[in-house]
Copies of this chain bind each other. A is one copy, B any other.
Amino acid sequence: MIDTMSLGEFDLIEQYFWRPVGAGPHRAVVGNGDDCAVIAPAPGMQLAISTDTMVEGRHFLSTVDPARLGHKALAVNLSDLAACGAKPLAFTLALTLPRVEASWLSAFSKGLLALADEHDCELIGGDTTAGPLTIGITVLGEVPSGGALLRSGAQVGDDIWISGTPGEARLALEAFRGTLHPGLDARTFEAVRAAMECPTPRVALGQGLRGVATSAIDVSDGLLGDLGHVLRRSRVGASLALDALPVSPYLQDRARDLQLDCILAGGDDYELIFTSPASQRETMHQLEQQLGLMLTRVGRIEAEPGLRLWQGEQAVPNRWVSFDHFKGAA
């Protein structure tokens, strides 16, 4: 592909990522293509900022559909905004590419910009460079002054909630690893693969939890590990009822051990874990119906530090560890 290999950096940005002014909502005063983008939050709002990087071979395989990769690279960042209760505004893209390939770039930018449009989140700047395939996104959102949901706000007596059915991404990973016996049927495999490759950030839920939840975090490293962050930051402990955990239909027929591995220690789900006082249970049911998204109460915040797992009245040892990029599943 000689013609596309000779595409230069500046052409590349213009051709695939840069939209002419007037082609969409423009929140940026100065957009893509100057030294900086310039934006302003609305009066009374603060900016929420998050950065996430995805590296080939670590966060995705070279065989992944580039449109899904574009979607996911933004989705994991929007998920961080959701966990803070922020509304997406804009993002920057730092793209490191081993080579310029038109079909890849076209699909990647379509997947990326489709999700951006869905959330009215404008691409305001970026950087392309040659090197090992790495996608870095920094996303900006707005949140009412003082209203961001934090990890540190959980209170003793709060309920612990989880959205959706975490564990599907881990089930897909185990299918790719070939550890499932029997394996998944084709329809199930495609469904859980989509959960892993094309996650849905819980942006509307995050905004719905403003003023309702006392703390929130998104499940990127696994339910137990991410809940652990909330507990440490909030200086509290918790009890979790294993029987109460939502089980994905794709996990229903599987051994209980695999179910628990996927739900408790699977990452990459991008559901939200959050806490709120018992007085907000009715609000949760309303949110659930309004969003068409299952919200499940799975435990309670307690004063005693640490995390306790229960099967009915029976204490269950915690044999799960969360994912750490430098330790692996150490």
Contacts and interface: CB of A to CB of B under 8 A. Distances in A.
Interface of A: 6-10, 12, 29-30, 33-41, 45-53, 55-59, 80-81, 83-84, 86, 90, 92-94, 96-97, 100, 124-132, 134, 136, 138, 140-141, 143, 145-146, 148, 150-152, 216-218, 233, 324-327, 330
Contacts of A146: 29
A100 B47 CA distance: 32
B9 A325 contact: yes
B51 A47 contact: no
B129 A59 contact: yes
Identify the interface centre among A41, A47, A130: most chain B CB within 10 Å of its CB.
A47
Contacts of A216: 35
Contacts of A57: 131
Contacts of A53: 94, 96, 127, 129, 134, 136
Nearest to A143: B38
Contact of A7 (B41, B47, B59, B326): B326
Nearest to A228: B10
Contact of A37 (B49, B83, B124): B49
B58 A131 contact: yes
Contact of A136 (B30, B124, B136, B326): B136
Given A29-B46, A55-B131, A94-B136, 9 more contacts: A10-B324, A35-B218, A38-B49, A49-B124, A51-B138, A52-B127, A59-B129, A130-B325, A130-B326
A179 B323 CA distance: 49
A178 B68 CA distance: 45
A198 to B, nearest CB: 20
Contacts of A9: 324-327
B50 A36 contact: yes
22 contacts: A7-B326, A9-B326, A35-B80, A35-B216, A36-B83, A38-B47, A38-B49, A38-B84, A38-B148, A39-B49, A40-B47, A49-B92, A51-B94, A51-B127, A53-B129, A56-B131, A94-B94, A96-B134, A97-B326, A132-B132, A132-B134, A134-B136
A59 B94 CA distance: 14
Contacts of A8: 324, 326-327, 330
Contacts of A152: 34
